[in-house]
Structure 1
Amino acid sequence: MTDPDLSRRIRDAGGRVTTARLAVLRCLADADEPLTPDEVLEYLGRNSDHVPDRVTIYRAIDWLAIHGLVRRLATVGRAARYEPVEDREAHAHFQCRRCAQTRCLPAPTPPLPPLPPGYAAERIELVIHGLCAACRAGDTP
């Protein structure tokens, strides 16, 4: 997605296009996996001329999440992970219980079970917890 597309999404959500909002949304859109705010800060430090401070990063992520442009994932540990909300099918995630690496899985999320009458699902999260290949390689039988 291009910066003009990302800027339009921010404006369509009713917000001002700030440097921080655009940088965070660009970072999450470019990432191969959901990121923590600290990982966003590291990425911007390596790849951007303008690096917002930690508080500004958190505020930008909060605004983007509140306005439905990024989603917070349930994770192991204290650090939340975020990914952009895109016009694609819902998908599951795998999270390593040892290193906390979180990966998007290509398979679609299983179908939603029937809900009681009058209920409406707004969001589904499927997180599979286990050990990633690198952490498994360090395991002893």
Structure 2
Amino acid sequence: MNPELDKKLKSKNIRPTAMRQLVLQVLIDQNTAISLPELEQKFEKADKATLYRTLKTFEEKRLIHHIEDGTGAVKYALCHEKCNCHLEDLHVHFLCTKCNQTYCLDEIQIPDIKLPSDFLLESVNLVVKGICSNCKK
């Protein structure tokens, strides 16, 4: 058991288990968002349902967020430390059209969207597409 991972899980009211620690470590080590199939490849012997439930728990407890980047696969990434997954915490995502990796651009917030008064905003997804710095080299 890793005390740092336990602390991070407990801070979000998630009971630490070996699988949750392993999944969290993979998410920490990633510099891009990861899809469930990509995660399954890292845990070949793990039960797919367990991995899915782990991601859903992490998302419900606001440890991670999901990204629909237009590739057809939902991807997941760690939330930043102070994120509560409120609209003001939303940020831009970048999809590299060459390597198909999705990056969280935490420093670029989604602009305030003014809807007509009789509309209710529930979620926003802003994906910018182009060539990432790795592929540009």
- The answer on 1:6 being equivalent to 2:5 is yes
Amino acid in structure 2 at the alignment position of 1:69: L
Unaligned runs of 5+ in 2: 83-88
Deviation at 1:130, TM superposition (A): 4.3
Give the deviation of 1:135 after TM superposition: 8.9
Query: TM-score scaled to structure 1, two decimals?
Result: 0.67
- What TM-score, normalized to structure 2? 0.69
The residue type paired with residue 102 of structure 1 is T
| Contact kept? 1:76, 1:97, Cα under 8 Å | no
Higher share in strand:
2
Distance in 1, matches of 2:10 and 2:122, equals 23
Backbone CA RMSD of aligned residues? 3.3
Amino acid at match of 1:21: R
* Larger-Rg structure: 1
1:83 maps to 2:77: yes
- Aligned residue for 1:54? 48
Deviations 1:55-110 (A, max 9, x none): 11111111111111111112213321000112267542211457642123475225
Are the structure 2 counterparts of residues 122 and 6 from structure 1 closer, same or farther at C-alpha, using a change threshold of 3 Å? Answer: farther
Partner residue in 2 for 1:63: 57
1:69–1:84 contact (8 Å) kept in structure 2: yes
What residue ranges of structure 1 are gaps of 5+ in the alignment?
A: 46-50, 137-141
Separation in 1 of the partners of 2:63 and 2:34? 14
CA separation of 1:115/1:5 partners in 2, compared to 1, >3 Å: closer, same or farther?
A: farther
Q: Does 1:129 align with 2:129?
A: yes
Identity percentage of aligned residues: 28
